[in-house]
Amino acid sequence: MTQAPHPDIQHTVRAKEWFETLRTDICREFEQIEREAGSDACFEYTPWQREEDGNEDPGGGVRAVMKGKVFEKVGVNVSTVRGNFAPDFAASVNGASADNPGFCATGISLVAHMANPHVPAVHMNTRFLTTGKSWFGGGADLNPPIPYEEDTADFHAAFRAACAGHNPTYYDRFKKWADDYFYIPHRQCHRGVGGIFYDHLECTDDASWERNFTFTKDVGQTFLGIYPKLVRRRMDSEFTDADKLQQLQWRGRYAEFNLVYDRGTLFGLKTGGNIDAILMSLPPEAVWS
């Protein structure tokens, strides 16, 4: 099996550099929140290398994790990997096939589980992939154990505004996509209060690449603009044992979704990613009743 040539290396490098910049900005902001809470917690950065037989340059990434007073556990991972999909998995990936299994992928993935149950957990991911096609995907969704209409409205308003600056159809399309995707069929409920989710924003030329890259950057910047505001709004709230139990139960549902349905988890496992980075999304503690 030969690896398909990667025609988009310059674009991959630019996307990778942006994801790393976004990670730096997010980690700095989250550490600042910890300082405001009287904590000296910092992110720990752990590099990892991917392995693939016959591949001299399979890539890797850096796993960044912080456990603090406000952020019980938050991970911000950036990875850039390249190689070949297994034939059975290639058939399920846009632009790939058993005859053309080569791929390159770079992206940032963030999950935050919070100490205070009044502070919403959150997920954010953006990525750029090249197979036989090139495309961007990603999004962000809010996962509050104790929902507040104000927080939900502000989160959605931020992403509605971001989408409106690019395409008037984006927000409605991508909100529905998030609602449909972040649903737990066996529980018959959503994982949280939604957000936006998009995939396969294809790049057929430089103009479409720049357009989709600009949108993807705005998704990351919008997340950085809104989520810390929600954390600061709720992080000093008093909570009861019943509040904490509700948080732990919702964390169980979060774990169920990520282990059973999440595409990112499956992609990481199927492409030989770092297990600790892939399962970073799981909460530090959860209950099932």
Tell me which residue of 117, 112, 124, 20 sits closest to 66, measured CA to CA.
112
pLDDT at 264: 85
Domains of the chain from N-terminus onward = 9-138+201-281 (3.40.1500.10)
* Residue 31: partners with Cβ closer than 8 Å, 6 or more residues away: 41, 42, 43, 66
Q: What is the dihedral of CA 261, 267, 271, 274, to 10 degrees?
A: -80
pLDDT at 97: 78
- The amino acid present at 11, given as its one-letter code, is H
Predicted TM-score (pTM) of this structure: 0.93
Spatial separation of the C-alpha atoms in residues 267 and 228, rounded to whole Å: 29
Q: Inter-axis angle of helices 149-164 and 170-181, to 10 degrees?
A: 130
Query: If you count them, how many residues does the chain have?
Result: 289
pLDDT at 56: 82
Q: Is 179 exposed, middle or buried (0-12, 13-18, 19+ CB in 10 A)?
A: middle
Q: Would you say 44 and 66 are in contact if contact means Cβ atoms under 8 Å apart?
A: yes
The answer to whether residue 123 is catalytic is yes
pLDDT in tens, the chain (289 residues): 344 434 468 899 999 999 999 999 999 999 999 999 999 999 999 999 988 888 888 899 999 999 999 999 999 999 999 988 877 787 778 777 777 788 899 999 999 999 999 999 999 999 999 988 999 999 999 999 999 999 999 999 999 999 999 999 999 999 999 999 999 999 999 999 999 999 999 999 999 999 999 999 999 999 999 999 999 999 999 999 999 999 999 999 999 999 999 988 988 888 878 888 889 899 999 999 7
Helical (H) or strand (E) element with 4: none
Among candidate residues 123, 156, 186, 190, the one labeled active-site is: 123
Tell me how far apart the terminal alpha carbons of the chain are, to the nearest angstrom: 48
Alpha helices in 121-274 (DSSP H): 149-164, 170-181, 206-234, 241-260, 263-270
Query: With b meaning 16 or more CB within 10 Å and e meaning fewer, what string describes 214-250?
Result: ebbbbbbebbbebbeebbebbbeeebeeebbeebbeb
Alpha helices in 148-205 (DSSP H): 149-164, 170-181
Tell me which residue of 230, 155, 141, 149 sits closest to 183, measured CA to CA.
141
pLDDT at 6: 46
